[in-house]
Amino acid sequence: MSHLRPELRARAEAIVAVYPQPRSALIPLCHLAQSQDGYLTEPAMVEIAELCGVTPAEVRGTASFYDLLHTEPVGRYVVGVCTNLACMLDGADALLAHAEQRLGCRAGGTTPDGLFTLEETECLADCDVTPCVQVNSRFVRTTTPEALDALLDELAAGGRSEEIPPHGTLNRVFRTVGREAPVEVVAAERAAAREAQAARAAEAEATS
């Protein structure tokens, strides 16, 4: 019995299939599982392990390295406030302090209603609109306490659901094409390309 919902299980199998080695699908599958559960549950990690041909411990071991992969429950909306240098120079510490007060939790914490997790992030690469704020990895460009409050109110009321659904949009657009040729065909093509390349190199050598 699959822990992933049937349509996500099918997606997971399609993702595994586009990689030359199944283990490469590990992180994409973690994102997929998080889009269903918000974080990496035990059964999800077991299922990812099985899909990638590794042990559940290896899934956890890999996931625990990365900021965007959560091995503990998080809120439906993960709010990240960057305080790295460019944002710090534009009042990021005050904005983060405001967010902590407004949400009633420190950075790294989750509101009791399970709606918001607040994070102090490193540079999010949007340094011309500072301080930079993301919700579920979408840039929201709320640089003032007032704008941030308004956004949090809107999210709590279920707004912006197209752009910022609970647990994010990382798995919204999928490949519409699978691998278009069997591995053997690709290998044969690659060998032919190598031969042609070697022949051209030899020819170039001979004429020079």
Partner 1 sequence: MTPRIVTARRDYDDSFTLERALATGAYEGLRKALSMTPEAVCAEVDAASLLGRGGAGFPAGRKWSMLRKAPTTYLVINGDESEPATFKDHLLIERDPHQLIEGVVIAAYALQVTQAFIFIRGEFALGLERVSQALNEAYAHGAVGRDIFSSGFSLDIVVHPGAGAYVCGEETSLLESLEGKRGYPRIKPPFFPAAIGLYGEPTVVNNVETVSNLPWIITNGGAAFAALGEGRSTGTRLFALSGHVERPGVYEIEMVKNTFRDLIYSPELGGGVRGGRAVKAIVPGGVSAPWFFPEHLDLPLGQDEVAQAGSMLGSGSIIVMDDTTCMVRATWRITKFFSRESCGQCTPCREGSGWLERVLYRLEHGGGRAEDVDLLLDLCDNIAPGLTWPPQQTTICVLGPSIPSSINSAISRFRQEFIDHVDHGGCPSGH
Residues in touch with partner 1 (CB under 8 A): 18-21, 23-28, 30-31, 52, 54, 61-63, 65-69, 80, 83-86, 88-89, 93, 122-128, 130, 134, 136-139, 168-170, 172-177, 179-181, 186, 189-190, 193-194, 196-197, 200-201, 204
Sheet of strand 116-121: strand arrangement:
116-121, 77-82, 133-135, 138-139
In terms of CB distance, is 85 or 104 closer to partner 1?
85
Q: Return the amino acid letter for 68.
A: L
Q: How far is the CB of 64 from partner 1 (least distance, A)?
A: 8
In terms of CB distance, is 104 or 106 closer to partner 1?
106
Q: How far is the CB of 127 from partner 1 (least distance, A)?
A: 4
Q: How far is the CB of 168 from partner 1 (least distance, A)?
A: 6
CB-based contacts of 107, cutoff 8 Å, min separation 6: 81, 96, 100, 118, 119, 120
In terms of CB distance, is 122 or 154 closer to partner 1?
122
Report the C-alpha gap between 135 and 74 in whole angstroms. 13
Dihedrals phi, psi of 81, to nearest 5 degrees: -115, 120
In terms of CB distance, is 104 or 191 closer to partner 1?
191
In terms of CB distance, is 36 or 169 closer to partner 1?
169
Q: How far is the CB of 101 from partner 1 (least distance, A)?
A: 18
Report the C-alpha gap between 54 and 25 in whole angstroms. 11
Q: How far is the CB of 2 from partner 1 (least distance, A)?
A: 20
Dihedrals phi, psi of 172, to nearest 5 degrees: -85, -40
Cα atoms found within 13 Å of the Cα of residue 137, Cβ hemisphere only: 13
Dihedrals phi, psi of 121, to nearest 5 degrees: -105, 165
